[in-house]
Structure 1
Amino acid sequence: MIPLTQNPTPEVELWVETREDVELTHKAELPTVSTWQTWFKIWLSELKPTSSPIGRYEVNLLLTDDVTIRQLNATYRHQDKATDVLAFAAQETEIPGAQTIYQTAPLPLGDVVISVETAQRQRHDAHYSLTQELAWLAAHGLLHLLGWDHPDDIALKIMLEQQQQLLRQIDLTF
């Protein structure tokens, strides 16, 4: 049997948006778009998803503030509080004709939303860089887009170990 994807290294189209009103205490620590692109490509190579028949994926990353992430969390998770990261998987529902569309187009994995404000607070408490915290949260969000979850302590431990592995792949560790 021949594998569906002919490309051993998955490709990713990453759309990164940083809200203009996000206040950064350390702007120099915010990864560039090309850095995010590299990280997601490395992570997808490590995770080896097989859902795209051509090995191409699309991810949207929004770096925002506590107000926006709180609104999203209240609307979609019914939790009226800010959080560090949310992931909205695009593949949770079936799309008619998707098999035909994604023979030539990237498969959308979904959206990862990170509160930079919360990330800044968390990293100050733990004494590591904002870049490390943002990468940690982005890896967590990507795992959720790929179907990972942590409904119990055992699943959480496995997922956190996978996040550590993804950070090692980009030479960032805690």
Structure 2
Amino acid sequence: MRLQAVQVEVCVQDGSEEFTEAGSSGDEFAVSVAIDPVITTETWERWFQDWLEALQPTFSPIDAYELSLRLTDDREIQQLNQQYRQQDKPTDVLAFAALESLYPEPDELQATLPLYLGDIVISIDTAQRQAEGQQHPLNVELAWLASHGLLHLLGWDHPDEDSLTRMLKQQQDLLEIVGLHSKTR
């Protein structure tokens, strides 16, 4: 089954406090840190499309989903982590699931528009350090973190070791779907 639409909004913050944006048009973007090869919006969209196809969520009656992906730095993610999780430190990825809200969309909207899953925020600074520690390219680490965020948007959680092990295995499977490989964590 092919999903009708996965729309990914990518907003990348570089070190100068300005944003480079690329929407669903497939425009490429660059970041001040070296992402080799550059992950284009089209690539992100394809990865999320493939992942959602594999995971087969059933939340949308028209099998259309939308999410937001933001690549930022440690400073901004630390502010978000403090504001929303009361942890005053940088982290690698945050996921803000829209499906957790208590505001259901009217049936007519659900039947015509993609279902908004939520927001994924990734710190490129932390991702770079983790990529070096795992001895794999930054794009693999970014995909690893994005897949982790997506699973959270779909309701996955890891409150104990067993659920964390299942989630990490699912992330490994998702990376393999898009042709990437990570060392087992």
* TM score, norm. by length of structure 2: 0.86
| Matches of 1:20 and 1:35, distance apart in 2 | 20
Distance 1:35 1:24, change over 3 A: same
2:152 equivalent to 1:131? no
- Note the C-alpha offset of 1:141: 0.1
- Note the C-alpha offset of 1:30: 3.6
The one of 35, 41, 48 equivalent to 2:56 is 48
Correspondence 1:77-116 to 2 at 5 A:
77-116=85-124
| Matches of 2:104 and 2:54, distance apart in 1 | 29
State the match for 1:20 in structure 2. 14
Does the CA-based 8 Å contact 2:2-2:53 persist in structure 1? yes
Does the CA-based 8 Å contact 2:35-2:138 persist in structure 1? no
| Matches of 1:90 and 1:98, distance apart in 2 | 15
- Note the C-alpha offset of 1:130: 0.2
Give unpaired runs (5+ residues) of structure 1. Answer: 1-7
Q: How many residues align?
A: 167
2:181 equivalent to 1:173? yes
| Matches of 2:170 and 2:99, distance apart in 1 | 21
Does the CA-based 8 Å contact 1:73-1:82 persist in structure 2? yes
2:164 equivalent to 1:156? yes
Distance 1:91 1:77, change over 3 A: same
Larger RCO, structures 1/2 (Cα 8 Å, 6+ apart):
1
| Matches of 1:25 and 1:97, distance apart in 2 | 39
Q: Which has the higher helix share?
A: 1
- Note the C-alpha offset of 1:92: 0.4
The one of 142, 150, 157 equivalent to 2:150 is 142
Report the RMSD for the aligned CA atoms in angstroms: 1.3
> How many percent of aligned residue pairs carry the same amino acid?
50
The amino acid of 1:93's aligned partner reads: S
The amino acid of 1:173's aligned partner reads: H
The one of 56, 73, 76 equivalent to 1:65 is 73
Does the CA-based 8 Å contact 1:52-1:107 persist in structure 2? yes
2:17 equivalent to 1:9? no
Tell me which stretches of 4 or more aligned residues in structure 1 moved more than 3 Å.
Answer: 22-25, 27-30
Distance 1:96 1:165, change over 3 A: closer
- What SS does the corresponding residue of 1:26 show, helix, strand or coil? coil
Does the CA-based 8 Å contact 1:24-1:117 persist in structure 2? no
- What SS does the corresponding residue of 2:36 show, helix, strand or coil? helix
Give unpaired runs (5+ residues) of structure 2. Answer: 17-30
Distance 1:26 1:75, change over 3 A: same
State the match for 1:3 in structure 2. none
Does the CA-based 8 Å contact 2:64-2:113 persist in structure 1? yes
- Note the C-alpha offset of 1:161: 0.3
Q: Deviations over 1:26-50 (max 9, x none)?
A: 1433411110000000000000000
